[in-house]
Amino acid sequence: MGEQLFLGAIAIGIGLVAGVALFVPFVAISYRRRGRLSLPRLLLWFAALVYFWAIWTYTLLPLPEPGSIRCVGMITDPVAIVRDVQRAIAAPGSTLTHPAVLQLAFNVLLFVPLGFFLRVLGGRGILVALLVGLGLSLFVETTQLTGVWGLYPCAYRFFDVGDLLTNTTGSVLGSVFGLVVPRAHRGLATAPDAAMPRPVTRGRRAVAMLCDGIAFFLISGIVSVATQLFLQYVRHDRAAVLDGAWAALAGTGGAASLWLIVIAISGRSIGDLAVQLRYTGGPVPMPLARLLRWAGGVAGLSALGLLGGLFGPLSSALLFAACVMLFFTRAGRGLPGVLSGQHLTDARAPGAGDGSGRATHSVGHSSARSA
């Protein structure tokens, strides 16, 4: 039981990492295909990520030590599983707790989510569930047969035709269970009202801020690691690697520069683009308004910390204040909106262009008092 829990924790951990990496594109696609971000659908996609990794952790891990493996063959008789169940029924004790019955049930249940996700998230029916279930099961069994594709000298787990049958059955059953979800909530098709403007709420603005934070962290982290690798293997400057100053400067500075370019061109940050928000109106000329929005966002405030000294704590304090201002400004326009004097609107609303004149059409502002 402890080993199963450990493998489950591995799958959840990898799923979380993958989910964070894919969060921003998922939000952007959701707003363009569904018109909004749906929490149930978000949780379903996360569950699908965890399930994908669980398939591999439960079927391949733990990897044995090369010197301790015991080579096994193939079970090619599809009727063998029937005989195992018959022996379980004839054996004394509870049939339901017999290892052969538990193994069969586990092999079926393991692939039920696959068919369910294929129907609900992919909009695919029973035939696709059957083919994908069979194909994935065959790939898993072949991976075991080949000793993880040559990593081991021989197979340390059985290639079992019975597993192909039970796994495929599970996938088909999952597809049938997926029929309980209303058709309107299944599949990848674009919703008819996806292009219609939606209310601008603090929750939506919070998602935009989260997208900005995650994307900024990922991009700055990638640039920092690339800088460290360059210093280590190209410049052979071990002292600079240990110091980390160049990596921090390149990572934060590079990501902040990217945000400045995106906002200068589009008038919106990456988070705003993801959730279809736009700042508009205000008394400040457009170029300066965009610069002020950048300065009040995660990119500008993080770049402030690069100045060193007291600017580091000041940067952290302002980042915290910017998060707090989400709850005390109209529609959550936050520090960028306060600095630029602009307000938020749905980018799909008529006349929602980013101009330097008076504000145009606005959608669903919160009734909270403007800061």
d(CA 200, CA 116): 33
d(CA 120, CA 181): 7
Strand partners, 277: 346
Instruction: Check residue 299 and give left, alpha or beta (phi > 0: left; psi -120 to 50: alpha).
Output: alpha
Q: How far is CA 239 from CA 227, 235, 242, 243, in A?
A: 13, 11, 5, 6
* Predicted model pTM: 0.81
**CA 20 to centroid of chain Cα atoms:** 5
Dig out the tokens for 358 from the structure: 């008076």
Question: Which SS3 state, helix, strand or coil, does residue 345 take?
Answer: strand
Residue type, 319: L
d(CA 352, CA 268): 12
Q: Is the peptide bond between 350 and the residue preceding it cis, with omega within 30 degrees of 0?
A: no
Residue of 320, 319, 332 whose CA lies nearest to 369: 332
Tens of pLDDT along the chain (371 residues) come to: 566 677 778 888 888 888 999 999 999 999 999 899 988 889 999 999 999 888 888 777 777 777 777 888 788 777 777 777 777 777 777 766 777 778 888 889 999 999 999 999 999 999 999 999 999 999 988 988 888 888 888 888 888 888 899 999 999 999 999 999 988 778 878 888 888 999 999 999 999 999 999 999 999 999 999 999 999 999 999 999 999 999 999 999 999 999 999 999 999 999 999 999 999 988 989 899 999 999 999 999 999 999 988 999 999 999 999 999 999 998 889 999 999 999 999 999 886 665 544 434 344 443 333 34
Q: What is the per-residue pLDDT for 354? A: 59
Q: What is the per-residue pLDDT for 71? A: 83
The CA dihedral of 243, 249, 251, 256, to the nearest 10 degrees, is 160
* φ, ψ for residue 253, nearest 5 deg: -65, -40
Dig out the tokens for 98 from the structure: 């017999």
The residue to which tokens 């052969």 are assigned: 100
* φ, ψ for residue 81, nearest 5 deg: -65, -30
Strand partners, 297: none
Q: DSSP code of 355?
A: -
Q: What is the per-residue pLDDT for 368? A: 36
Strands 277-280 and 343-346: antiparallel
Alpha helix (H) residue ranges in 178-310: 202-233, 238-243, 245-266, 270-275, 286-295, 298-304
Cβ within 8 Å of residue 185, ≥6 positions away: 41, 120
The residue to which tokens 């099961």 are assigned: 137
Q: Answer whether 280's CB lies under 8 Å from 355's CB.
A: yes
Rg of the chain over Cα atoms, rounded to whole angstroms, equals 27
Q: Answer whether 153's CB lies under 8 Å from 94's CB.
A: no
